[in-house]
Amino acid sequence: MSETVTVNELATHDSAPEPTPTGERADLLEALANHRHFLRFTTRDLTDEQAGRRTTTSQLCLGGLIKHVTAVERSWAQFILDGPSAMPDFTNMTEADWARRSDEFRMLPGETLIGVLADYAEVARRTDELIATHPDLDSTQPLPKAPWSEPGARWSARRVLMHVITETAQHAGHADIIRESLDGAKTMG
């Protein structure tokens, strides 16, 4: 049976990090929290079936977008701690690896919207805690091997967080288009 997610249930997935950051960290985390909210808000009052439905010519669905953003945030947060070993070597991925990665963009059998949102909330909580407590946002790690990475490039914890904010904002926009195509609902306006 498919469940409908209400706005109140979405609100329960928001939690404040401990300790409370200030200054730049607070500003960055607030920007990320705002984009997370808009992304989650696009799923309000949907069933699991609706969250998994493609409504545009792309392969994207709302539940899949949230899964993808969750995976991206999880891996980049781990990158801050462990460097490139937290991510695959994208230059050596097989077709099977890419196929598994594409599962991030869709709802798989047995997955629920409530489950996807709960996973996202837990990853968000851990990221917020990491950023609030990380000793130095200027600390860097070498980027993982990928065709799109400049060889030898390093990213600071700050730049990683800015990338996660950008990725979340971009996919919140995708989600809004998918939701409007689904049933006419909009995040804003």
Can you list the residues of the chain whose pLDDT is less than 50? 1, 7-8, 10-13, 16-17
Who's near 58: CB < 8 A, 6+ residues apart?
Answer: 174
Using alpha carbons, list the distances in angstroms from residue 90 to 49, 56, 145, 188: 32, 28, 6, 36
Q: Write out pLDDT tens, residues 103-127.
A: 889 999 999 999 999 999 999 999 9
- What is the structure's pLDDT at 12? 46
Residue appearing with tokens 């200054």: 23
Beta-carbon count within 10 A of 47 CB: 15
Spatial separation of the C-alpha atoms in residues 10 and 123, rounded to whole Å? 15
